[in-house]
């Protein structure tokens, strides 16, 4: 199913876009997209606020066609994550199907959801009232059916734990070998600390065996870590003020970040917050946003202990004293830096706003 904006959503985007000085033709092109040369993606999500921001960014980006959204437990439980995805898509009039996936980890153990975005994952601001419901087909079956229908063309954007994708690999590895690329918001990157532990990032930590399965499978993986989401990539209080001024979609995103902004204020980062999934999606839809990347071998630690969930990156061309370069397959493109100063500005642009009218 193609990504399409409803007339209502297009009218809304035009309304606050024209207020900011955008022409109708510019806003229409941003909203409706270009039907030629659009890359096909599935968004796999444990929908919290930053996942929702990423979904909106993809829906407003003419480079990609969202084929479907698959959901799993992570930030919130499966039911809440599904409602969050549905409500977000309905808000922007993006007519793509949503499919329920994993409620448990790759090894069958229970997932205890954890969210810094509030109990509902969306700021606890009473934002989530979807009218629609998820499809009957399960996420893994949908992923496999879509890959079979688009061999060598489909890209998967993992914004949560890797459980759905690992299960699809186990179910039909031959089909999953036809995935063009997997994008992952995960790991601390090459420079940053973790957020689940000093060495592990939340998405990986929640299901490290699944993440290891995906990395070891051999399909090209691009990893966007926490380190490129920090610093000047973060959204400030002033950014949220500007976002809030751009109509109901901007207000939805701003309100959904309410609890995590409160969390950051309480730990000393009063004026800015990471939007990890939004930054990752920016890398997907706008490859020129990536200013530095390195080809690596990624190895995920699944042994119990302090290093559980750590991903070690062996960089191609780097000499390690105790290992030989030929020992590795270079399965990961690691994003090492992005055009940080443009992150928030580009987000507003893709919502139908002219940067010159805001800054």
pLDDT digits (tens, 9 = 90+) for 314-338: 999 887 877 766 677 898 999 999 9
Query: In DSSP terms, which residues pair with 333 in a beta bridge?
Result: 222, 295
Give the pLDDT confidence score for residue 25 in this predicted structure: 34
> Who contacts 133 (Cβ-Cβ below 8 Å, separation ≥6)?
86
Give the pLDDT confidence score for residue 270 in this predicted structure: 67
268 confidence band (pLDDT: 50, 70, 90): low
Kindly tell me if the per-residue pLDDT of 112 is higher than 70. Answer: yes
Pseudo-torsion of CA 193, 198, 203, 206, nearest 10°?
A: 180
- Average pLDDT (247-272) is 87
The number of beta carbons lying within 10 Å of the beta carbon of residue 122 is: 31
Kindly report the pTM of this predicted structure: 0.89
- Average pLDDT (85-93) is 95
Q: Where are the domains of the chain?
A: 7-357
Give the pLDDT confidence score for residue 60 in this predicted structure: 87
Rounded percentage of the chain residues whose pLDDT exceeds 90: 69
Give the pLDDT confidence score for residue 259 in this predicted structure: 94
Give the pLDDT confidence score for residue 83 in this predicted structure: 98
Candidates 95, 113, 94; CA nearest to 103 is 113
- Average pLDDT (30-50) is 79
CATH fold label, 7-357: Inosine-uridine Nucleoside N-ribohydrolase; Chain A (3.90.245)
Degrees to nearest 5, angle at CA 210 with 207 and 211 = 85
pLDDT one-digit tens code per residue, 157-167: 999 999 999 99
> If you average pLDDT over every residue of the chain, what do you get?
87
31 confidence band (pLDDT: 50, 70, 90): very low
pLDDT one-digit tens code per residue, 57-68: 999 888 999 999
């Amino acid at each position: 199913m193609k990504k399409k904006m409803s007339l209502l959503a297009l009218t809304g985007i035009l309304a606050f876009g024209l207020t900011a000085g955008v022409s109708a033709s510019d806003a229409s092109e941003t909203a409706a997209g270009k039907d030629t040369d659009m890359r096909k993606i599935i968004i796999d999500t444990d929908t919290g606020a930053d996942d929702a921001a990423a979904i909106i960014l993809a829906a407003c980006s003419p480079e990609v066609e969202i084929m479907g959204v698959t959901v799993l437990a992570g930030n919130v439980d499966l039911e809440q994550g599904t409602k969050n995805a549905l409500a977000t898509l309905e808000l922007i009039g993006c007519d793509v199907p949503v499919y329920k996936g994993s409620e448990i980890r790759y090894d069958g153990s229970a997932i205890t959801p954890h969210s810094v975005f509030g109990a509902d994952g969306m700021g606890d601001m009473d934002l989530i009232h979807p009218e629609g419901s998820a499809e009957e087909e399960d996420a893994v079956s949908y992923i496999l059916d879509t890959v079979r229908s688009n061999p060598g063309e489909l890209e998967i954007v993992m914004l949560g734990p890797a459980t759905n994708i690992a299960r699809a690999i186990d179910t039909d590895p031959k089909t999953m070998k036809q995935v063009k690329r997997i994008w992952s918001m995960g790991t601390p990157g090459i420079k940053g600390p973790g957020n689940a532990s000093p060495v592990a990032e939340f998405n990986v930590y929640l299901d490290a065996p699944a993440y290891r399965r995906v990395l070891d499978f051999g399909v090209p993986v691009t990893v966007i870590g926490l380190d490129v989401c920090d610093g000047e990539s973060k959204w400030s209080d002033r950014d949220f003020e500007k976002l809030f001024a751009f109509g109901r979609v901007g207000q939805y995103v701003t309100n959904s970040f309410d609890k995590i902004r409160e969390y950051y204020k309480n730990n000393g980062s009063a004026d800015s917050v990471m939007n990890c999934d939004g930054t990752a999606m920016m890398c997907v839809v706008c490859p020129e946003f990536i200013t530095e990347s390195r080809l690596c071998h990624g190895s995920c630690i699944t042994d119990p202990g302090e290093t559980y969930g750590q991903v070690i990156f062996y960089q191609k061309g780097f000499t390690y004293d105790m290992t030989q370069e030929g020992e590795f397959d270079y399965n990961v493109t690691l994003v090492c830096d992005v055009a940080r100063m443009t992150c928030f500005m580009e987000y507003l642009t893709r919502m139908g706003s002219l940067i010159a009218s805001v800054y």
